[in-house]
Structure 1
Amino acid sequence: MNHALLRRCLTVATALLTLAAGGPSATAAGGPDSAPHLPRPTGPRAVGTTSLHLTDNSRPDPWVSGVNARELMVSLWYPTASPSGRRAQYMTPTESELLLREGGITGVPLDVLSTTRTNAFADAPPTGPPRGLPLVVLSPGFTKPRTTLTGLAEDLASHGYMVAAIDHTYESVATTFPDGRVATCAACEIPHNATFWTRLETGRATDVSFVLDELTGAHPKWDGARLIDTSRIAMAGHSVGGASAVTSMVADPRVRAGIDIDGSTDVPIPDSGLSRPFLFLGRQSQYTPGGGGDAVATWERDWPHLTGWKRWLVVAGAEHASFTDVGLLAEQLGLGTGAELPAARASEIVRGYTRAFLELHLRHRPQPLLDKPSQRYPQVRFCTPETSTCV
């Protein structure tokens, strides 16, 4: 097993809440009344959310034999002018239990993540000008449900984006369908060699293209899709979801810009290159140029083939869990991720730099934050792979 594969397997084994600091028997902080919560969105708009059940009858499921169609669950977040009704549930009690069990977590109620307080209103009607909202597709890490990107999704929606997060069925510990079925991680049972990760990333690119067809085709599967500006679509993802942003952009020209958040890439960019804007955002400990690890080597391999606007940013003190809701919820529950950077600060960085990238490339608004290091975010360093330096 090479070092990259070993690192991937260790990352998967830690599941939702990494135990590097807190340990598997850490108890919830603050008692029964301190439910975990997501940070408030920073934009001026209220946020609505809904879920879609989509079925691709043109292909069998890639992970389970005998399943002749690919079923996906997709969550959508968007601006709403009707912020009323109930707040959306973060995940179901069953999903919470399976996620915590997979991570070996004890000492907290198994349904605790289902009580996480969100900011979006369930099934609130979307608002915005026809064909006026840029669309951002989000893809989570391997074994992780789409809900672990909710904090980022809510924030983007509060700034006037349509956001679609995909659960890649049988790649997550739990995907719940409207009829109550729960699909578990069949892909976890397959040997995780180099061929597996390539298959995973190319399959996710196919999932993304199908979801775009369903949302932006002649007969979209959701009424709110009429608000999507099909000329302004981007993708971001975490871990293998971030690596899949590269694969999706190569496969589908509708994806105009992409962000890889802390994910090593297994499918190389073709020699012909990728000229659309791209951002690498990762841990300083893993993705500093010249560091010599297998993870950073994949970014170094791809960097010369990114021929358009590009940035390589690393975050000091962050760990893998820091870039999603995982770090926030772990910290609130008294569990550790091994990160030196406080989870709230990491979330602020991810949301701020992701939004700046999208504002620049989907709305063409200048973003000084992406031009040079910022005194506001001294943990973020700009890297130049050609000289193996970061400032």
Structure 2
Amino acid sequence: MRQLLAVAAGTAVLAVSACSAPAPPRSAAPSPTPAGPAALPAPTGPHPVGTTALYLEDTSRPDPWDPDAGARRLKVTLWYPAGRRDGPRAPYMTPKESELLLKGSGIASAPYDTLSRTRTNAVENAEPAGRRLPLVVLSPGFTKPVSSLTSLAEDLAGRGYVVAGIDHTHENHATTFPGGRVAECIACDSDSDPGFGAGVVQGRAADVSFVLDRLPSEWDGSTMIDRSRVAMVGQSIGGAAAVAAMVKDARVRAGIDMDGTTYARIPKGGLSRPFMFMGSPAHVPGGRDGSWDRDWRLLTGWKRWLVLSDAEHQSFTDLPLLAGALGIKPVRGVMPAARAAELTRTYVAAFLDRHLRSRPQPLLEKPSPRHPEVGFCPAACGRS
């Protein structure tokens, strides 16, 4: 599948694969001079946020992209409520990861290490605080690292969730392992192969199950996790992987697909656990991507289908927030980055609070005058 370069909400849509069902590309000239380092918005919850990384090896299966690897190796980034607010903030990504991501995406309007200077809010390796907290697994879009969902992850941790973000090795431009070894995107050479999307989501579902198996024994802070309350949230093909993970693993009690064409087939008997689609106008009922129409009928439990007007494919990630640092001008008619981040955080948190904490969420029952951009489908948006 040919990769597209688009501009969304004032940022470059960094090398979105066609398997990700992007919104139609828009064009904008880059600013002549990039702005200073970007800073992610502060978490809205009451808790300080800590973060750490785990490196796991699944010797029971080979890496699906690298036959010479001998085992599937994963980097898992954890965000969680912490006991203190002070301390060094975690890096957004390394200079080399920034370089490979920008080069792979065709972005040349800023120095290649620009994204490594993005300011985050989480304290690196801070002591965890809290107990019996729900767990949220995050899965990013194709070619993107899980750091592209950092704003959402930090916000959920600040609200009292433990978040486990998975970098699916060789499916993004760069993942750094101990010793400085960088795993690059081998899958990028295969994304036009027949059945590519279905294969990716099945591999990601296996990654999720493995992480859920190993997290209790690999992370010292795992005692704070309530393993009976697990959800998964993904963007693009990571959202499609949420469907695949729920079909494969009953431990995933609820899921959200943010603007991802779905590939995993839901059994004819349906999927009865809570699920929410949240996307751009490319995903209106009866639109050009029919996968949500197909799967909507097979979701037999609590479900919602939300469409954000003026959103584009990357509006659910950090990438619009980084536009200024990359020297990319905003695009007229596209949802502003700060508003897209606010809506994403608000509706994801409402879904998780309802289904992992049993807290009533009127926001999810009908359109809100405070959030007029959010349409409830299939009856109240687009074509039905």
TM-score, normalising length from structure 1? 0.90
Q: What SS is found at the alignment partner of 1:259?
A: strand
Matches within 5 A, 1:217-256: 220-256=217-253
State the 1:28 CA deviation.
4.4
Instruction: Map 1:260-339 onto structure 2 (within 5 A).
Output: 260-284=257-281, 286-291=282-287, 293=288, 295=289, 297-336=290-329, 338=331
Instruction: Give 1:334 deviation, angstroms.
Output: 3.3
Is 231-240 or 102-111 further displaced after alignment? 102-111
> What SS does the corresponding residue of 1:50 show, helix, strand or coil?
strand
From the superposition, tell whether residues 241 and 113 of structure 1 become closer, same or farther in structure 2 (CA, over 3 Å): same
Aligned counterparts, 1:142-153, within 5 A: 142-153=142-153
What's the secondary structure of 1:126's corresponding residue?
coil
57, 60, 71: which one aligns with 1:58: 60
Q: Could you give the per-residue CA deviations for residues 58-117 of structure 1, whole angstroms, max 9, x where no partner exists?
A: 111000112110000010000011222200000000000011111111131110100000
Question: How far has the Cα of 1:211 moved from its partner?
Answer: 0.4
**301 and 242 in structure 1: CA distance in 2 versus 1, 3 angstrom threshold:** same
Q: Percent identity?
A: 55
* Preserved CA contact (<8 Å) 2:134 2:225: yes
Residue identity matched to 1:290: G
Structure 1 distance, partners of 2:273, 2:350, is: 16
| Residues 345 and 224 of structure 1, relative CA distance in 2, 3 Å threshold | same
Indicate conservation of the 8 Å contact 2:140/2:238, yes or no. Answer: yes
SS where residue 263 of structure 1 aligns?
A: coil
* Alignment partners' CA distance in 2, 1:160 and 1:279: 21
Decide which of 364, 367, 374 is 1:373's aligned counterpart.
367
Match runs of 1:112-261 below 5 Å: 112-129=114-131, 132-216=132-216, 220-261=217-258
Report the Cα offset of residue 266 of structure 1: 1.4
Q: Is the 2:254–2:355 Cα contact (8 Å) retained in structure 1?
A: yes
3-state SS of 2:179 partner = coil
Check whether the contact 1:17–1:335 (CA below 8 A) recurs between aligned residues.
no
Give me the whole-angstrom Cα distance separating, in 2, the residues matched to 1:17 and 1:195.
Answer: 20
CA distance in 2, matches of 1:11, 1:52: 32
Match of 2:28?
22
Residue equivalent to 2:19: none
8 Å CA contact 2:136–2:162 kept in 1: the answer is: yes
| Aligned CA distance change for structure 1 residues 138 and 27 (closer, same or farther; 3 Å) | farther
Query: Cα 1:198–1:17, aligned 2, differ >3 Å: closer, same or farther?
Result: closer
Q: CA deviation at 1:386?
A: 10
> 1: CA distance between counterparts of 2:360 and 2:117?
39
What amino acid does structure 1 have at the position aligned with 2:195? T
Shift of 1:387: 9.5
SS of structure 2 residue aligned to 1:203: helix
Alignment partner, residue 100 of structure 2 = 98
Taking the aligned partners of 1:225 and 1:123, their CA distance within structure 2 comes to 14
Q: Within 5 A, what are the aligned runs for 1:349-360?
A: 349-360=343-354
Q: Is the 8 Å Cα contact of residues 17 and 327 (structure 1) preserved in structure 2?
A: no
In structure 1, the residue corresponding to 2:305 is in which secondary structure?
strand
| Cα separation, 2, equivalents of 1:313 and 1:336 | 27
| Distance (Å, rounded) in 1 between the aligned partners of 2:4 and 2:61 | 31
CA shift at 1:336, angstroms?
Answer: 4.8
Question: Quick check: 2:6–2:26 contact (8 Å CA) kept in 1?
Answer: no
CA contact (8 A) 1:21 1:335 kept: no
Alignment partner of 1:346 is 2:340? yes
Contact 1:22 1:334 in 2 (8 A): no
Cα drift, residue 389 of structure 1 = 5.0
| Contact preservation (8 Å) 1:204, 1:244 | yes
Deviations 1:23-63 (A, max 9, x none): 4x544444xxx211100100011000000000001111000
1:269-319 deviation digits (Å, cap 9, x = unpaired): 1111100000000002x011122x1x2x00000011100000000000011
Deviation digits for residues 185-236 of structure 1 (CA, Å, limit 9, x no counterpart): 00111142341111100000000000000114xxx10110111000100000
Tell me the secondary structure at the aligned position of residue 231 of structure 2: strand
Deviations 1:309-357 (A, max 9, x none): 0000000001111110011112453315756110100000000000000
1:174–1:389 Cα change, 3 Å: same
TM-score (norm 2): 0.92
Q: How far apart are the structure 1 equivalents of 2:161 and 2:221?
A: 12
Q: Secondary structure at the match of 1:179?
A: helix
Measured at CA, do residues 387 and 123 of structure 1 come closer, stay the same or move farther in structure 2, by a change above 3 Å?
Answer: closer
| CA–CA separation in structure 2 for the residues paired with 1:261 and 1:62 | 25
Correspondence for 2:22: none
Residues of 1 paired with 2:97 and 2:298: CA distance?
Answer: 39
Q: CA deviation at 1:180?
A: 0.4
For 2:6 and 2:241, locate their aligned partners in 1 and report how far apart those are by CA, in whole Å.
17
Q: Which range is displaced more, 93-102 or 327-336? A: 327-336
SS state at 1:346 partner: helix
In 1: Cα distance, 2:297 partner to 2:305 partner:
12
- Structure 1 residues 318, 135: closer, same or farther in 2, change over 3 A? same
